[in-house]
Structure 1
Amino acid sequence: MKLISWNVNGLRACCNKGFLDYFKEVDADIFCVQETKLQEGQISLNLEGYRDYWHYAVKKGYSGTAVFTKIEPISVQYGIGMEEYDSEGRAITLEFNDFYLVNVYTPNSQRDLARLSFRLTWEDRLQEYLLGLDKVKPVVLCGDLNVAHQEIDLKNHKSNKGNSGFTVEERGKMTDLLASGFIDSFRHMHPDQEGAYTWWSYMNKVRERNIGWRIDYFIVSEKLAPAISKAAIDSEVLGSDHCPILLEMI
């Protein structure tokens, strides 16, 4: 089974920059996107063979998540049960026979950390939600989690300590999640790989020089670890300030 996750930073814009070409080429069984930045009826996609599920933000042109799947889910849930987050379209859960898929777009704590408290409450609620699902069947969590967990996960770790996405608090929440029975699939397969990033600033030549952050993840229940056959980053794929990430399971 092949799964893809991609923060498209505006799906309509990304469709003008090769999204559909990549979508068809990669031929994923399940394709998750974040930051769709649209409302119902604002886009028409002809994705033959796929069912589509959308969680729109109330605020126009903001946030939003979607899942395109060849496999019909048993059930679908929108949000994680907290209105202040669910109104921003940040999560979709699809239940399949052997696992739950949870596609999320984690709140950014913002440059001045004005939303750090909001973000940390989200982390606590998300972990509680995931642990509840994991008691029923294994979980695959994917999306833009807006944190570089370790120093290896961003280029300039010294100058970014304490900045949004690399605060002690945000990194600690990721550590807590992993310690509760989950694994970072990419680091599980590539524990020491440096220069593996999924987001780059739009500043001049930053991406060309690979000055990036790894903030997009497939996090899976520990019991799924033996099923992971591949975890990769499609860093050459353009169309957004993020690139797609891939997980294959047997």
Structure 2
Amino acid sequence: MKVVSWNVNGARAVHRKGAWDTFVKRCGDADVIGLQELKATPEQLPEEMGDPAQFNAFFNVPTQKKGYSGVALYVTEEPDRVLTELDVPDTEGRFVAAVYERRKLVIANVYFPNGGGGEERMAYKLDYYDAFLSFIENWRRAGYSVLFMGDVNAAHEPIDLAHPTANEGTPGYNPDVRAWIDEVVRAGYTDTFRHLHPRAATYSYWDLKTRARERDVGWRIDYVFCSNDLLPQLTDAAIHGDIFGSDHCPVSATIAE
């Protein structure tokens, strides 16, 4: 099972630039695709994104602030249930999950809050983190395996960003957000890319305003995590830095079935 995650930073813009065609050529063989930051409703998307022929497509979009946030989950195998709510207020369309009861598997796609803009937004980010961890832990206690992907909006370790010292204390690299990823790992989930590439200083996000991608001054804030019971089946994890169109690039993992 190949899983691909991409923060597209505007799905219509990615399509207009031709980047979606490149993505499909490179990653269209995936069994699961999670997109974040759609900035559009399904009805506003080109057909191949809003209703892709080879996938079952599920969306969660903002109910108040239009043209903001939004996530999509494409899966080749139709799930038994689709969930779009966590135990935290969310009008921003940040979460969608597929439940496979026979396979005892939950696949979640999440666009976590950035946390910038003041103490209230950072508090919301941390609450969202906690609500999501509670969600996946509840499923694990019920005997399910878990795969989750998305823009976590946090770099975990110094190797995960080009300038760790200069960015200490920022919304994406402060003790609280790093500690949450520690908690996820302690709870029994593995960062698939870091597991297979322990020393790779490879990034998934670059600030477009400073043309940071040209200098590879980036952050690794996009992840695919798996519950540890799936770890023996993990065969590949990659960051697709040669796919453009967004300030993020796709990341992927492959779990043998």
Normalised-by-shorter TM-score class: over 0.9
Letter matched to residue 21 of structure 1: T
Q: Which residue number in structure 2 is paired with residue 229 of structure 1? A: 235
Q: Which residue number in structure 1 is paired with residue 126 of structure 2? A: 120
Letter matched to residue 154 of structure 1: L
Measured against aligned partners, the alpha-carbon deviations of 1:139-166 in whole angstroms (never above 9, x if no partner) come to 0010000000000000000100001100
The runs of 5 or more residues in structure 1 that have no matched partner are none
Q: How does 1:179-190 map to 2 (within 5 A)?
A: 179-190=186-197
Q: How does 1:37-186 map to 2 (within 5 A)?
A: 37-46=39-48, 47-58=52-63, 59-82=65-88, 84-85=89-90, 87-96=91-100, 97-110=103-116, 112-135=118-141, 136-186=143-193
CA contact (8 A) 1:112 1:164 kept: no
CA contact (8 A) 1:6 1:244 kept: yes
CA contact (8 A) 2:40 2:67 kept: yes
Q: Which residue number in structure 1 is paired with residue 20 of structure 2? A: 19
CA contact (8 A) 1:77 1:93 kept: yes
Measured against aligned partners, the alpha-carbon deviations of 1:47-66 in whole angstroms (never above 9, x if no partner) come to 22111101011110011100
Rounded to whole Å, the distance in 2 between the matches of 1:112 and 1:241 is 23
Rounded to whole Å, the distance in 2 between the matches of 1:178 and 1:152 is 17
Measured against aligned partners, the alpha-carbon deviations of 1:187-241 in whole angstroms (never above 9, x if no partner) come to 11111112x1000001343101100000000111011111100000001110100
CA RMSD of superposed structures (Å):
1.3
- TM-score relative to the length of structure 1: 0.95
Q: Report the more deviating stretch, 237-246 or 68-77.
A: 68-77
Rounded to whole Å, the distance in 1 between the matches of 2:109 and 2:211 is 30
Rounded to whole Å, the distance in 2 between the matches of 1:25 and 1:213 is 22
Measured against aligned partners, the alpha-carbon deviations of 1:79-110 in whole angstroms (never above 9, x if no partner) come to 2133x22x211111101324210100000111
CA contact (8 A) 1:113 1:164 kept: no
The runs of 5 or more residues in structure 2 that have no matched partner are none
CA contact (8 A) 1:198 1:212 kept: yes
Shift of 1:134: 1.3
CA contact (8 A) 1:53 1:66 kept: yes
Rounded to whole Å, the distance in 2 between the matches of 1:93 and 1:205 is 34
Rounded to whole Å, the distance in 1 between the matches of 2:197 and 2:42 is 39
CA contact (8 A) 1:79 1:89 kept: no
Shift of 1:43: 1.4
Report the count of equivalent residues.
247
Shift of 1:133: 1.1
Q: Which residue number in structure 2 is paired with residue 207 of structure 1? A: 213
Rounded to whole Å, the distance in 1 between the matches of 2:55 and 2:94 is 21
- Aligned residue for 1:115, secondary structure, equals helix
